[in-house]
Amino acid sequence: MKRDFLDLSSLSREELNGLLALGARLKAELKIGLEHPYLRGRTLAMVFQKPSLRTRVTFETGMAQLGGHAIYLAPNDIGIGERESVKDVARNISRAVDLIMIRTFSHETAVELAREASVPVINGLTDLLHPCQLLADLMTLQERFGRDLRKVRVAFVGDGFNLAQSWIEAAALAGFELRLASPKGYEPDKDFMKRLRNEEIGTITDDPAEAVKDADVVYTDTWTSMGREKEAVQRRRDFKGFQVNDALMKNARKGAIVMHCLPAHRGEEITDDVIDGPRSVVLDQAENRLHAQKAVMVWLIRPEILQTTSPSPE
């Protein structure tokens, strides 16, 4: 039975730990020049409805490093859901490739694609979730705080959109404390908020300073995501006071790190001195997209490799 990677909540804790360990192993092997062509002769179809720098570069590079090949399909190449139905796209592509990655708006499009495809499907981002980014972020946290993240306190300051919702899934799975600070009206989806409270993994507030108090990690994202550009002026007004800057960081623990998934709107959700400063790990996050996604692709096509990769000791 094939597996897909559409979210984090469908993973077991053991699978999450295995993916993180495999990502770390692939990163270490690449650093010393050790090739790992686990997917030689395999092909990844990359279906884009939303543009991206990091998603395309890391998936395409990752597939090449694994010995395979990636095909970039721009929005006008397919017209998924318009020129061709999601079902027809899924069934046709499945006859030619071994793996599909989709970066789209509606999460239901990714779910339908996975349901109709006979090959594994990866969520490269939807309006509901961004699991690939979170896997890279968790890798980054482990590099800073060790393998066991249960004692780490993460503060997310910004829009309760796909990134925030994936952080809720990650906290439930990895067991760390999560604090979300969003303006009223911009909180995560009600089901995610209910999960945050019911599983006692964190809190939500409209006070950024309260969320950041004694945090080990301060995370933010753009206030205006793709597809919501018409709301940009109103959002800048509504998110006033939610900027991650030096004053806000004074509430965090000494040595706290700053994270951002990129692209950043400098001067809006984050200041230059913070994103470029010594506490920033945004480039580590961006690099780890490569290694985390390679782990996902290997797991989906050759799961036996994940089973032979054990998490390294602290």
Residues annotated as catalytic are: 103, 130, 133, 221, 261, 289
d(CA 274, CA 257): 10
Peptide bond connecting 183 to the previous residue in cis, omega within 30 degrees of 0: no
Cβ count near 82 (within 10 Å): 8
Cα separations (Å) of 53 from 50, 101, 142?
10, 15, 24
Sheet holding 121-125, edge to edge: 69-73, 43-48, 99-103, 121-125
d(CA 202, CA 175): 10
Q: Mention every residue, 6+ apart, whose C-beta is less than 8 A from residue 204.
A: 160, 179, 180, 181, 182, 187, 188, 193, 196, 197
Question: Cβ distance 305 to 299 under 8 Å?
Answer: yes
Question: Cβ distance 168 to 178 under 8 Å?
Answer: yes
d(CA 175, CA 150): 5
Q: Mention every residue, 6+ apart, whose C-beta is less than 8 A from residue 115.
A: 90
Amino acid at 290: L
Cα separations (Å) of 97 from 111, 125, 177?
18, 20, 40
Structure tokens at 77: 């190449």
